[in-house]
Amino acid sequence: MLKLGVNIDHVATLRQARLGVEPRPLEAALICEEAGAWGITAHLREDRRHIQDADMVELVENVQKLNMEMALTDEMLQIATKLKPNSCCIVPEKRQELTTEGGLEVVNNFENICAAVKRLHDNEIIVSLFIDPVAEQIAAAVESGAEYIELHTGTFANTKAGSSERKEELSRLMEMAEYATNLGLKVNAGHGIDYENIEDILKIPHLHELNIGHSIVSHAVMVGMKQAVSEMIDLMKKY
């Protein structure tokens, strides 16, 4: 069964708008679990624009499976190896970006990524690399020792529904998921997935987990977190 990881970053975004104490990311995470989410994802950014260090401590102590999204920096590696979340997904990060803009450059940063993967594995943390659906990057991910990749679906999500561009991007995601699986990687997907485009996302073979944040949190403002998560899970049952 295809699993759902809910990214709760933007619960923290709402809190940080007033620099207050609510809404609490942990409370949202526990509701997500109650609604059937398999895991919780949180991105501790270097600039701490949403999730804070204290949030990560609360989450790792209270949720069943925490996936920590993190940049490839010494600071984040130190935090991850201290907290020991269930898994870490290494992502590219730019301070000026609104959200993650593309996949990790594995080929040209191979030695550093290998060292990070080993360090996380030494602390019994599962490792995923957030990458674009590109064969060279996938092959390098295999060599790095990471168990998972998370295919960046943002380019797909930014195309118009029914367009030739969307069909091409979906075809590329499908082909690269097949390629990665044949090389022994487990494949997740995430970024820009919502209640409408998920119908096409479910055409990608061999997926283990979808990580979805903004669309669920946005919908939760209108219908509540439990219902927002439940509706997404219902759509995923078609997989």
Active site residues: 43, 69, 191
DSSP 77-138: HHHHHHH--SEEEE----TT-SS--S----GGGHHHHHHHHHHHHHTT-EEEEEE-S-HHHH
What are the backbone dihedrals phi and psi of residue 69, each rounded to the nearest 5 degrees, phi first?
Answer: -80, 140
Give the chain's end-to-end CA distance (angstroms, integer).
7
- Which residues fall within 8 angstroms of residue 38, CB to CB, at 6 or more apart? 3, 4, 5, 65, 209
**Chain centroid offset of residue 62 CA:** 19
Q: Which uninterrupted H or E stretch holds 186?
A: strand 186-190
CA dist., res. 51 & res. 100, Å (int): 15
